[in-house]
Amino acid sequence: MAVSLNIFIVALSLIAFSPLCLSSKAYESGSYLFPQYYDHSCPKAQEIVQSIVAKAFAQDPRMPASLLRLHFHDCFVKGCDASILLDNSGTIISEKRSNPNRNSARGFEVIEEIKHALEQECPETVSCADILALAARDSTVITGGPSWEVPLGRRDARGASLSGSNNDIPAPNNTFQTILTKFKRQGLNLVDLVSLSGSHTIGNSRCTSFRQRLYNQSGNGKPDLTLNQYYGSVLRKQCPRSGGDQNLFFLDLVTPFKFDNHYFKNLIMYKGLLSSDEVLFTKNRESKELVELYAENQEAFFEQFAKSMVKMGNISPLTGARGEIRRICRRVNHAAY
């Protein structure tokens, strides 16, 4: 009877989480992830991740945005394999040194704290890649955003790609078409681009990431005409032509610590902080319509954001015998001792 029940449960999970739900890249690789992956091997895994994310948020309200960004920057480079977490070693050049991550990516110590707690609970079971995916979901929820079931079962990479991090992650000054092309390379589409960009409803950006918009957007010594003039004058006070590179600014100036749809409302008012934000409203008709939809209908944004996060989390995961389950997230196992 127990065997029959187990077969029935597996069959149900196969129906609920069929490959149709996966991104094309995940489907092509034959990978298979499902939310119940740790139900028997580490039943407290999700509870442990959630509690440590909550503690980190209580200590630092910026942390949820940082953890969400780590998952995004991980998945866009060789897939969701925790390569972003690896430090330099004899054989690895860390992605932490790339232009998108240097002096910017943060939250690594929270991931290591989660990993340490999970190793105490169930050694060598929960991957760092899955920790990133769960922490991203929990960071969204704790700041007021939607929840979703996270497909699990990823394994961890034994290497990193500095060039991939430099070339594959969308940059603040990329054109709309370049950003869309980078998303399409990952099996994501324009709807995913607009909804996932909505994660900029929380978090900060540095002066160096948008200075060009304030002073010399098109190489003619003039500011970006799609930036609200008053907002631009406010930004220039703390982001001078030179110096202040690391000065921080809210991506959403209205509700910077709340996951909501104000990001899209800001774009309609030409108050997107980054060029890569504002182009969603100014450079493409279909994306503009989505911005207007999400600005009007937060529920529609939340629903699509959850779907797109699952889709992004399924980019080229390592499964089966590929990769490993790292004991320490910042280094591969053979270098751990």
The answer to whether 40 is annotated as binding is no
The answer to whether 41 is annotated as binding is no
The answer to whether 141 is annotated as binding is no
DSSP track, 217-240:
TTSSS---TTS-HHHHHHHHHHS-
Q: What residue spans of the chain are helical by DSSP H?
A: 2-16, 24-28, 45-59, 63-75, 108-121, 128-142, 162-168, 176-185, 190-197, 211-215, 229-238, 262-268, 275-282, 285-296, 298-313
The answer to whether 181 is annotated as binding is no
The answer to whether 95 is annotated as binding is yes
Active site residue 40: no
Look at residue 290 and give its three-state secondary structure: helix
The answer to whether 81 is annotated as binding is yes
Give the whole-angstrom CA distance, residue 200 versus residue 145: 12
The tokens of 200 are what? Answer: 């900029």
The answer to whether 83 is annotated as binding is yes
Q: Which of 73, 116, 262, 334 is catalytic?
A: 73
The answer to whether 201 is annotated as binding is yes
The answer to whether 116 is annotated as binding is no
Q: Contact, 205 vs 278, CB < 8 A?
A: no
Residue positions annotated with a catalytic role: 73
Annotated binding site for Ca(2+): 74, 77, 79, 81, 83, 95, 201, 252, 255, 260
Name the binding residues for heme b: 200
Binding region for substrate: 170
The annotation places the binding site at 74, 77, 79, 81, 83, 95, 170, 200-201, 252, 255, 260
